[in-house]
Structures are given as C-alpha cells and as structure tokens.
Structure 1
C-alpha cells in the first residue's frame, strides 16, 4: 500500500484537466462478448477513476468516494476505531487504514483499528481485521464484531453495502434502505460520543425519512454524491457526524 499523497500532489494528480487524459483508451478484443460486457468494458476504460485506482494501488475506484468524503467532512482521524460493512474488495478498508494509522506507519500518531466484514471472502488488508464470508445483518456476525472490539467503542461506521439488484426498482430501494437501518442500529449500540457514520443509499422516497431518523442521534446529516460516483447512478451517501448517544431521541 502506498502512502497518502501530499495535498498538493493529490490536487495536481486529480485536477479536472488530468482526469480527461485517462478517458481516451478504447477496449480491444470485444469479439464474442455480450453487448452488456462490451458496454461495461468501454465504460471501465473511459473511467478516469479506474486508472487512478491502479496508480495509487487501491483495489477499486470506490476508494475515491471515501477519500472525497473524508477530505471534506473529516470523519476519520489517526487512532480511530472503524467498522467497514460490505467491505469487499477492500478499497474503503485501505483508505480507513491509511487515515486512522491502523498500519502504524505515521510516526508519533495514534494507531487506529479497522474491522471489515463482507459476505464475500477478500484478500487481507495490512492493518485491518477482516471477516470474509460473513453476513453483517445476522446476530452471530454482529456478536463476532462485538467480541473483536473487546469493549472498545467505534469512532466511525462505514457502509458501502448494496443488495443484489432484482431489477424491480421498488424492491431494490427497500432492500438498501433496510441495510442502512441495520447499520444504523449497530452504530447506535457501538459508537463512541461524537462518532461518525456513512451509509450508501439509492435515491428514493424513503431517504428523507432515513435522514430524519439519523438526525435524532447525530448532530448533522448530509446527503452527498461524490464526484467518483457515476453520473447515471442513483447512488448517494448519507454522512452523519457527531453521535449524540442512543438515548438522544
């Protein structure tokens, strides 16, 4: 894993005029592939964040969503304990490890702890504790996480989880909203005062209600669409800051 870039170099590398030069590649060897596969390959090669992920040794482009959120809202800091839900393939975990110093590479800074869980098995991330092949929504998995935390309160809960799409818009929106509530319930039970929470949602009519419910327990809740989120995606993130306590409501 490469160290974080300086703010100057980060801005130079990811300024708008640099982004465009990565969009010139064209897919090859498309013969025999389905139309959907061809469209996916074309989009991947035209996506500047895919190339940036390779350059910075992140496992996938989604790392830049969390980087942008943290740069703006300061939800992660050295020494924090972080839970990453739906973590595979591990790009958010990589960012969390770097920003909390869970790998211990930042001298004279507190060392954080990152716990990552996903239904899929995925490769280890140095500095993180990985729980692959586990369903976060089950009581058994949540108990395993409680045991791993050993009484330590969580400073930030992250969720990039999304259900497998059925193609039925209403059902898919309901499913991801339910996932958000699962994460919220766990966060309320395990978070330290002033902790933060980030959950992914697909824009729908239930999101305002979810925001209001989160505001009962957090000082601020902001709906965010990072630049790294594709423009044709309904994906948004709710960033909740300043946990007030489970009895605040």
Structure 2
C-alpha cells in the first residue's frame, strides 16, 4: 500500500469511529448521548475543516447542489438561522458579499430568536422571533419592495418531551414561514422548511402545492438516520389562488 492510501484510510477510520467522551461526569443521560453523537459524527469534523459553523451546512449544500434553489443575485431569507451555517451557504451561493464582481449580487437576510455572529455579506437579525409580525415587518422594511427568490427554514421548537406537542409546534412554524413566503414570493421562487414526521405533514404538503408547482420530501444524507426530521421543498412559486365571486 502507498503512504497516501494509508493516510486516507487512517483519516476515514478516525472520522467514522465511535468516540466516547471523557467529560461526562455529572451530565444527564441525554447530554451524554448528544456529546457521544457529536464526537462520533464525521459531519461535525468536516464542518470544522471547511469552516462551517455547524454540521447542518451539509444538508443545505446537498439540497442546493441537487435542486439549484439559489443562484447569484437572488434574495434569500433564512429563518431560524443560528448559528449561521445555512446563512453561510446562502451568502456564497447568491454572491451576497459581491466577492464575484462579474456576477449579480444577492441579498440574504437571516433571523433567529437567538443572538449569533454576523455572516459576511448577510443581514443578521439576532434576538428576533421570525413568527412575530414585528420580525416579518422588519424584513419587509429591509427588502424595501424586493421580492424573495428563496425562503429557507431550519427552525425547530425547543423540545418539550411531549411528542405530539413538539410536532404541532414545528408544523406551526412551517405554516408561519409558508404564509410569509407566499406574501413576498417572486415568480418561480422556492421554499425549504424543516419538519418532523407527523400526521399533519400530508396537509402541509397539500397546502404548499396550492402555491408551488411541486413539493418534495427530502432527507439529506447528513440528517441523522435516527432523526424524524426531513425537509419539504416547494419549487416554482405559481402565485396565489384567486377566489371567484
């Protein structure tokens, strides 16, 4: 075997090996399990190497690489943005920083109820609850009449431990994002929302189909296999329905 092959093999084994943390004393069982998952997760290490703020960056990268939901010059809203990894991807894909002078410059507005460090090229609204009218009015004011090409939502509620309540809460978040997206969507715009599998998902899909040409369930490879999360992708905004007299 060559030395290069041995180095690659060694790195792969290290990234995929299960790591047991040594600082678990006094931590709850759920905290211990989370730490163990983080240390054993190859996407966590990969995010550090590629300077992404967290592993969730790879979920959006996979979605955009396959479905091309963002392009230079686009206006993108990132809901539930903290710590900012999706905003990093959106800012790069839309050329929001203007780093590529030969391409159109996009606009990215990211919002989260938590405070988080700004992302180069993006407008960051930390400490702001997207679901509140005040936050949505702030975004409208920033855009000053611009229509939105893509709305992203990786929002999830704090877990209560009550499965049905948690599912109800994340579905409520999805509807809040959908209503906002529809109100400001440009023609053929796109929407991505995170959801946890539950009985209300088919209705949410049907409601999205009222406004988008197609709606697809996506489970990125970087989503943990034991997680019930997946994403609904709505592509091709076709306008709002008109009711007759």
Q: TM-score, with normalisation over the residues of structure 1?
A: 0.90
Superimposed CA distance per residue, residues 40-82 of structure 1 (whole angstroms, 9 cap, x where no aligned partner): 2111111000001001100000000000000111001011000
Distance 1:42 1:220, change over 3 A: same
Q: Is the 8 A contact 2:210 2:241 kept in 1?
A: no
Query: How far apart are residue 103 of structure 1 and its match?
Result: 1.3
Q: Which 5+ residue runs of structure 2 have no aligned equivalent?
A: 1-9
Match of 1:126 among 116, 120, 126: 120
- 2:16 maps to which residue? 23
Matches within 5 A, 1:178-189: 178-189=172-183
Q: TM-score, with normalisation over the residues of structure 2?
A: 0.91
Q: Is the 8 A contact 1:22 1:46 kept in 2?
A: yes
Match of 1:63 among 57, 63, 70: 57
Which ranges of 4 or more aligned residues in structure 1 deviate by more than 4 Å? 17-20
Superimposed CA distance per residue, residues 80-101 of structure 1 (whole angstroms, 9 cap, x where no aligned partner): 0000000000000000001111
Matches within 5 A, 1:1-249: 21-24=14-17, 25-247=19-241
Query: How far apart are residue 104 of structure 1 and its match?
Result: 1.3
Superimposed CA distance per residue, residues 8-48 of structure 1 (whole angstroms, 9 cap, x where no aligned partner): xxxxxxxxx97654122442333343333222211111100
Q: Which 5+ residue runs of structure 1 have no aligned equivalent?
A: 1-16
**Which protein shows a greater Rg?**
2
Q: Is the 8 A contact 1:23 1:45 kept in 2?
A: no
CA distance in 1, matches of 2:27, 2:203: 42
RMSD: 1.9
SS at 1:228's partner residue?
coil
Distance 1:18 1:183, change over 3 A: farther
- 2:7 maps to which residue? none
SS at 1:193's partner residue?
strand
